[in-house]
């Protein structure tokens, strides 16, 4: 019986160091997988793509080097016969489990449910997280994106100042629970660093006569053309798109704005 335990202990001592190798290498391939499948757009700002790619390659190189080291000279580990609340190489096991989860689960883009959590009527107001220095006064109204419009409102929030200006924007659909059936919100999430700090911006859209928001599923993507006007929504004067054309479009490869 003791010989079996010694054999098991010896085998475990040989196998456990490989957990570090697998963990490091798996994370390297996971980072490169996110980049190659373009899922990285759903996780971080494009400014950091190069860092992720180099990091993934670096992890793989380190993993291979570590594997060669273990192969040539297996590392010793603490006596596995001692009782411990934390299993040997617990950190590596956890990293491997998270990496496997990352390979199996596709990142999901934020949509209307998350946007509604902050209150849909707040999406058009001055947002302290937007950077006023990004505001471009010279841009033509019809060339402004949703983020451009929100930044413009952050600089000068009086909605009447934009009455009659042309608008053409794209975004996903939100069905506000407190507005009439002839209104919907079109929104996008702004990413400053990573998905954890994403926040929504958007504008209300008044549909053409005979159209209702039920014709446009929530979270579907639209291109909206029209003119700006001031509408009183939920007791608040808001800049609103009076639509002339609403087209269904595919979700863009990069659904976030910056």
pLDDT per residue, tens digit, the chain (258 aa), is 455 455 445 555 677 788 899 999 999 999 999 999 999 999 999 999 999 999 999 999 999 999 988 888 755 444 444 444 445 578 888 999 999 999 999 888 887 877 777 555 456 654 545 555 444 555 788 889 998 998 888 888 899 999 999 999 999 999 988 888 999 999 999 888 888 888 888 999 999 988 989 999 999 999 999 999 999 988 889 999 999 999 999 998 888 887
Same domain, 95 and 188: no
pLDDT at 37: 93
Question: What is the number of domains present in the chain?
Answer: 2
Identify the domain containing residue 7 by its residue range. 2-104
Paired tokens of 100: 């496997």
Q: Give the integer Cα–Cα distance in Å for 25 and 99.
A: 10
Paired tokens of 167: 């608008």
Same domain, 132 and 243: yes
Handedness of CA 243, 115, 162, 258 (dihedral sign): negative
pLDDT at 136: 53
Domain end position, chosen among 85, 104, 123: 104
Question: For the packed helices 2-36 and 49-72, what is the interaxial angle rounded to 10 degrees?
Answer: 160
Same domain, 100 and 116: no
Same domain, 51 and 133: no
Domain end position, chosen among 104, 133, 158: 104
Entry pTM:
0.76
pLDDT at 153: 87
Same domain, 140 and 200: yes
Same domain, 183 and 69: no
Listed in sequence order, the residues at least 6 apart from 206 whose beta carbon sits closer than 8 Å to its beta carbon are 182, 183, 229, 231, 240, 241, 242, 243
Same domain, 118 and 73: no
Q: Which residues pair with 221 in a beta bridge?
A: 172, 249
Same domain, 34 and 95: yes
Q: Give the integer Cα–Cα distance in Å for 71 and 121.
A: 61
Domain end position, chosen among 80, 104, 128: 104
pLDDT at 9: 55
The CATH number of the domain where 212 resides is what? 2.40.50.140
CA-angle at 189, arms to 213 and 146, nearest 5°: 70
pLDDT at 10: 59
Same domain, 68 and 30: yes
């Amino acid at each position: 019986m003791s010989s079996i335990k010694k054999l098991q202990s010896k085998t475990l001592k040989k196998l456990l160091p490989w957990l570090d190798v697998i963990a490091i290498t798996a994370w390297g391939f996971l980072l490169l997988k996110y980049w190659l499948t373009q899922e990285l757009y759903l996780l971080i700002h494009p400014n950091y793509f190069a860092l992720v790619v180099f990091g993934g390659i670096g992890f793989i190189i380190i993993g291979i080097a570590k594997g060669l080291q273990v192969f040539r000279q297996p590392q010793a580990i603490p006596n596995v016969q001692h009782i411990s609340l934390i299993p040997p190489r617990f950190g590596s096991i956890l990293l491997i489990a998270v990496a496997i989860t990352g390979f199996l689960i596709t990142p999901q883009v934020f949509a209307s449910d998350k946007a509604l959590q902050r209150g849909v009527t707040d999406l058009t107001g001055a947002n302290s997280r937007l950077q006023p220095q990004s505001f471009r006064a010279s841009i033509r109204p019809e060339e402004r994106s949703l983020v451009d419009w929100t930044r413009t409102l952050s600089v000068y929030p009086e909605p009447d100042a934009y009455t009659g200006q042309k608008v053409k924007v794209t975004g996903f659909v939100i069905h506000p629970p407190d507005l009439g059936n002839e209104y919907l919100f079109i929104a996008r999430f702004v990413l400053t660093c990573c998905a954890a700090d994403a926040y929504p911006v958007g504008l209300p859209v008044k549909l053409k006569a005979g159209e209702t928001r039920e014709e446009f599923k929530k979270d579907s993507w639209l291109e909206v053309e029209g003119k700006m006007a001031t509408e009183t929504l939920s007791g608040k004067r808001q800049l609103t798109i009076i639509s002339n054309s609403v087209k269904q479009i595919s979700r863009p490869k990069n659904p976030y704005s910056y």
